A and B are shown apart, each in its own frame.
Chain A
Amino acid sequence: MTDIEVFAELKKEVLLNYQKHYPYFSGNWKNFSSKDISQLIDLIEKQQKNTVSEKWIYTHLKPESNEKLPRKDMLDIFSRFSGYSGWDEFHSKIRNSTIESSKVGTPKIYSKNWIFIISAFLILGLGLFFWLRKSEKKEISITNAYSGKEIPKDEIKVYDVTDSIKKNLTVEEKLTIQTEKDSLKIVIESPFYQSKTVNISADKSKTEIQLQPNDNAMAIKAFLSADIKDWETRKKQLNNMLSENTEVILMLKNDLGSEYFNKEDFIKQILIPTNRLKKWKIVEIKNEEEKINFIRIQEE
């Protein structure tokens, strides 16, 4: 601590002492009025039997910062006014207390730093933990139970049904699903396969699921891309696999409208291959007593 800084501390002490005599004063040197100056001069004169000029106070006490240290005899007067034997005692006490406080303060800063570092690590660790949990991927293999071939992901929908709430799960490339949970109960639905509920446990890296195909639905899918050959056979098959009450909804592109076909209309449509059929994709099939009674088609 420099002498100027010690002097700044002395100025604070002088103000505190002045306040003891004039408790209504609650300001600082900046708003120390001419009345306060004359009252301080009187106090010093009375207590210290020394005189201080108004100019000296304006020059050395009123400014917020000082460039030069005042004369030693003046420092002694104001040190004594503040309860010390003189400038030397004030100077040494202030410097010692500063050193002590800095000695005590250092570990505090260190301990504060440690708390900050540990907290930051904890937050980062927790964030990383939840991020890793969130991005955890469970690999599933869904195959046709008869052919053993992997089912394309656009033919299935996977739902998380934990807590009785059905939530759509995104199936990513290579049939992986992203989940925050260690284990979960999923339902796989497809227009071409029978639905299946599967429990996926945390300890398994890959869960293999086999779906039973819905033969009628598979046949309809195949008919959509068939050529004209064997159209009569297909007509008989369609007549057998479709219920008399069959309702087919064709959802127009971007879901802007829909067209309805009954059994007769639908058979006519899919019996003969046309360019229009190439844009159709079956998204839902319902059965009633082993016959199809509802088909939803999306136009792409």
Chain B
Amino acid sequence: MKTTAYILFFILLFSSGKAQQSQSGDARNSISNNFSKQQISAYQNSSLEKFEQFTEYFNLIQETQDSELKDQLKQNIFSLFENPETEIIDFFASNKKITIRQFLNKYQNLNQIIKVISMKSAVSVFQNSWINIYQITNNFGEIITLKQTISFQKEEKKFGKNSKEVWEVKLGKLDL
């Protein structure tokens, strides 16, 4: 019984130490620890350009009848997001959360066009993300305000045989 208690105590001690180590590691890799306000603003601007690219690719999917081009455009959109399963709100219809893959499949032939009215990034920045706010209109001219989490973190990126740690801006969850 005593032995079990000791083992449990050491496991707890070890895991709490690991957690602390991981937290301090996270802090070291936080946005504010690595970039000045001006630099953060430059990367925020890049994230807004990525959202604009998303809308341009999305609108092209609606316009083209070329299925191969549609697939290519979907691949382009996936590369802008964290991954194809990133959840976004179905802002054209039900306001239900669906993945970006489902969203594209659903609307690829419905001639829905996204028109961007305004885009901005929130001033406050979290450890490895920030919020972008967009105003868009749908085909009926309705104004929809969207909030998107943008992730900005260090990742191991592969360049063929080589790889290096780089900071990557990715579009995340999209909400109302």
Known contacts A232-B68, A268-B75, A268-B79; is-contact A276 B60 (Cβ 8 Å): no
Residue interface mask A220-259, B partner, CB < 8 A = 1 = 0000000010011001000000011111000011101101
The CA of A248 and the CA of B131, in the complex, are separated in Å by 27
* B52 contacts chain A at the CB level, 8 A cutoff: yes
Chain B, residue nearest A256 (CB): B42
Chain B, residue nearest A260 (CB): B166
Do B46 and A259 have beta carbons less than 8 Å apart?
yes
Closest beta carbon of chain B to A292's beta carbon, Å: 12
Do B39 and A257 have beta carbons less than 8 Å apart?
yes
Chain A, residue nearest B165 (CB): A260
Considering only residues 44-68 of chain B, those with a C-beta below 8 Å from chain A are 45-46, 49, 52-53, 56-57, 60, 68
Considering only residues 72-126 of chain B, those with a C-beta below 8 Å from chain A are 72-73, 75-76, 79
Do A271 and B72 have beta carbons less than 8 Å apart?
yes
* A215 contacts chain B at the CB level, 8 A cutoff: no
Chain B, residue nearest A272 (CB): B76
Do B79 and A247 have beta carbons less than 8 Å apart?
no
Do B159 and A256 have beta carbons less than 8 Å apart?
no
Q: How many residues of A contact B (CB 8 A)?
A: 26
Chain A, residue nearest B54 (CB): A274
Kindly identify which residue among A243, A245, A257, A260 contacts B157, using a CB–CB cutoff of 8 Å.
A260
Do A228 and B42 have beta carbons less than 8 Å apart?
no
* B33 contacts chain A at the CB level, 8 A cutoff: no
The CA of A247 and the CA of B167, in the complex, are separated in Å by 14
Q: How many residues of B contact A (CB 8 A)?
A: 32
* A287 contacts chain B at the CB level, 8 A cutoff: no
The CA of A269 and the CA of B53, in the complex, are separated in Å by 9
* B4 contacts chain A at the CB level, 8 A cutoff: no
Chain A positions within 8 Å of B150 at CB level: none
* B169 contacts chain A at the CB level, 8 A cutoff: yes
* B2 contacts chain A at the CB level, 8 A cutoff: no
The CA of A268 and the CA of B46, in the complex, are separated in Å by 17
Known contacts A252-B42, A260-B157; is-contact A274 B53 (Cβ 8 Å): yes
A residues sitting closer than 8 Å to B (CB atoms) are 228, 231-232, 235, 243-247, 252-254, 256-257, 259-260, 262-263, 265, 268-269, 271-272, 274-276
Q: Which 9 A-B pairs have the closest CB atoms?
A: A245-B160, A256-B42, A244-B160, A260-B166, A252-B42, A247-B159, A257-B42, A262-B159, A274-B56
